[in-house]
Amino acid sequence: MPDEQEFISVINQHQKIIHKVCAVYMDTPTDREDLFQEITLQAWKSFATFRGEAQFSTWLYRVALNTAITFFRKEKKQPQIFNTEIFPELTEQRNTDEEQLAAMYKAIGELSNIDKALVMLYIEDYSYQEIGDMMGISPNNVAVKMIRIKTKLKDAAKKYYQF
Amino acid sequence: MELDELKNELNKKFAADKNKSAADIAALLKKQTVSVVRKLQRSLWFDLLANILVLFLFIWQGLYNASWALRVYFSSFIVLSVAALIVLIYLIRKINALNNTILPVKQNLESIYTIVREYKTRCFQLTMLLIPFCIAFIFVLAYVENKSGHQFDDLIDKLNDRAWILYTAIVVYVSMITIGIYYFTKWWLKKLYGKYLDQLKLLIAELEENSY
């Protein structure tokens, strides 16, 4: 039986990873809370198998993405809502940088679950080799997908932000 | 506006949710998961418990039923129930092992897909296999029982010159049971696992896709 205190301590240190995955995959605070719980429980169940061969953050990313991708909700997907918690500035005054960020954020929200995972790992600065290892695909495949995703995001973000 | 230009800012924004305390995290560990694998585990445990209950019923009927034919019928199902129990225990262990191992995303999706699909296919095949088996078995046992006890002689005598009524009734009954069970089983398994399998299949196909 793994040590619960040790687990809580490492999760506490790395919880930003789980928050990021929840923010990318879920629109509402309730859904994000549910996913956070699911990822934490899944990580706890699998913690005994973590042998320190990889960094804990990489291992946690793998757990979090596996869980998020297969976290199918019963109810129909709600329409994408604007997240005022993540972008509070936009509700008060217009800010160009924030608007660009918000547009990109919305565009990422429209991606498929697999593409969201790739974007997450990409913005965390993982190499294509590392992303490939986590996703179970070749680095070449990651590269091809990233080119396609970047184009898709550029086009989608234009819908939300006019230069 | 490119993804690379906003990379660092996005990374910060995604981590904007308020941090949880160690006590909050500890409280989360007391809850239950709601994943696909967990759903399958619950289904398997339900099947296992139902199987154990049915096994006791078969043992009781096999020992105490007044009819010799039904004693034989239920006793033979004890063997089938025990076999089903072994398969269910094997599947639960396999699912538990999968649930505690962190595989790369694609491999994880393929493993869940294979197990759920296998379970769905085998459930369907076993149900379909049992229909002709049960029907044939009950007729053989009824025939053997009648030879020794002559319980059905009166009915056969009454229908003697209109045997076609009996045969038609048997054919209609067997057909309706077979068709009913076929469609019900198909609908039930699709309702339970069809949507998950379709979603998993789409995700795997998307990961395998390698073109612009």
pLDDT tens digits along B48-104: 999 999 999 999 999 998 888 888 888 888 988 898 899 889 888 888 887 777 889
User: Does residue B18 or residue A148 have the better pLDDT?
Assistant: A148
A136 touches chain B (CB under 8 A): yes
Average pLDDT, chain B: 84
Q: List the single range of A72-76, A151-155, A158-162, B3-7 with lowest mean pLDDT.
A: A72-76
Average pLDDT, chain A: 82
Q: What is the mean pLDDT of residues B21-26?
A: 87
Is residue A135 within 8 A of residue A115, CB to CB? The reply is: no
Angle (CA) B191 B196 B201, round 5°:
130
Chain A segment 37-96 residues within 8 A of B by beta carbon are 37-38, 40-42, 44-46, 48-50, 59, 62-63, 65-67, 69-72, 85-87
**Contact at CB, A37 and B31, closer than 8 angstroms:** yes
- pLDDT score at A79: 46
Angle (CA) B135 B44 A33, round 5°:
145
Is residue A49 within 8 A of residue B102, CB to CB? The reply is: yes
ipTM: 0.80
Residues of chain A contacting B105 with CB distance shorter than 8 Å: 62, 65-66, 69, 114, 117, 134-136
User: Å from A14 to nearest chain B CA?
Assistant: 10
CA–CA separation, B106 and B174 (whole Å)? 45
pLDDT tens digits along B95-116: 888 777 788 999 988 988 888 8
Q: List the single range of A84-98, A111-125, B21-35, B36-50 with lowest mean pLDDT.
A: A84-98
Band of pLDDT at residue A73, cut at 50, 70 and 90: low
pLDDT tens digits along A109-146: 889 999 999 999 998 889 999 999 999 999 999 999 99
Chain B segment 30-49 residues within 8 A of A by beta carbon are 31-37
pLDDT tens digits along B147-194: 776 666 777 777 777 778 878 888 898 899 999 999 999 998 888 888
- pLDDT score at A76: 46
Q: Is the pLDDT of residue B203 over 80?
A: yes
Domain annotation for chain A: domains and CATH numbers = 4-75 (1.10.1740.10), 89-158 (1.10.10)
Q: What percent of chain A has pLDDT over 70?
A: 81
Q: Is the pLDDT of residue A18 over 50?
A: yes
DSSP assignment of chain B: --HHHHHHHHHHHHT-SPPPPHHHHHHHTTS---SHHHHHHHHHHHHHHHHHHHHHHHHHHHHH-S-HHHHHHHHHHHHHHHHHHHHHHHHHHHHHHHHTS---HHHHHHHHHHHHHHHHHHHHHHHHHHHHHHHHHHHHHHHHHHHHH-TTHHHHHHTGGGHHHHHHHHHHHHHHHHHHHHHHHHHHHIIIIIHHHHHHHHHHHHHH----
**Contact at CB, B6 and A101, closer than 8 angstroms:** yes
Chain B segment 83-112 residues within 8 A of A by beta carbon are 99-109, 112
